Amino acid sequence: MNKGWTEDQLAARVAQDIPEGACVNLGIGLPTKIPLHVPKDREVLFHSENGIIGMGPDPAPGEVDPDVVNAGKKHVTLLPGAAIVHQADSFSLIRSGRLDAVVLGGLQVAANGDLANWRVPGAGVGGVGGAMDLAVGAREVLVMMRHLDKNGRPKLVKTCTFPLTAPGCVTRVYTDLGVFDCVDGAFVVRELAPGISEDEVRTHTEGPLVFASRTALDQVASVQHEAADR
């Protein structure tokens, strides 16, 4: 698919929803692009579970500090006033509910908010790392991912078939096709990316969809139609 948001546009869309003064953990992969797109007049405290509070964006070429890396071992920068803390203190912050949000990558998200993001069955043995602590400790769990996997299969599903990171934890999903909330066992479409139609989202989503911009009567007819098809 050539339409929809690019990775940087997607990161900018997520950054748009992060409020002033929030303390936010960023997972490895796509979420690490978010600091580049936070408005310069907005203060956000980014956290990395290996012990950084006040993480900045990727370093410019030639300005890499080899001792400053995020939890994915990727070089990052420190914002003015940043703190480096022991990993035990970092996880105390996570587990005590002091994170306003976490933005994680995803392999599968189910319509009921279940998240699978740490291992693909049959692809070797992996480790969940701190993802399960983040998924249950943060006040809000946001997922940033591509809508389809490398084989063209939907990642927004009825039920996760991959090992779970945490059940019922996801509140909102951002993909290259749009913005989706997990509400009452369905994906509520809050926004479509440029050039993406409702039909395209239906085609590329396995789980039940509700379009927030449509009328209640339309929604009932749509849900009844989908139920009849199943």
Q: Given pLDDT bands bounded at 50, 70 and 90, which one contains residue 216? A: very low
pLDDT of residue 180: 98
Kind plus residue range of the DSSP H or E element containing 202: helix 198-203
pLDDT of residue 120: 82
Write out pLDDT tens, residues 192-206. 999 999 999 999 999
Q: In the CATH hierarchy, which top-level class contains the domain 7-229?
A: alpha beta
Q: For residues 69-80, give the mean pLDDT.
A: 93
Contact (Cβ atoms closer than 8 angstroms) between residue 141 and residue 102: yes
Q: Could you confirm whether 200 is annotated as catalytic?
A: no
pLDDT of residue 121: 80
pLDDT of residue 217: 42
Residue of 7, 49, 140, 206 with catalytic role: 49
Contact (Cβ atoms closer than 8 angstroms) between residue 84 and residue 52: yes
**Quick check: pTM over 0.75?**
yes
Asked if residue 221 has pLDDT above 60, the reply is: no
Q: Is 122 helix (H, G, I), strand (E, B) or coil?
A: coil
CA angle 170, 91, 11 (to 5 degrees): 45
Q: Is 37 helix (H, G, I), strand (E, B) or coil?
A: helix
Write out pLDDT tens, residues 103-159. 999 999 999 999 999 988 877 666 777 899 999 999 999 999 999 999 999 999 999
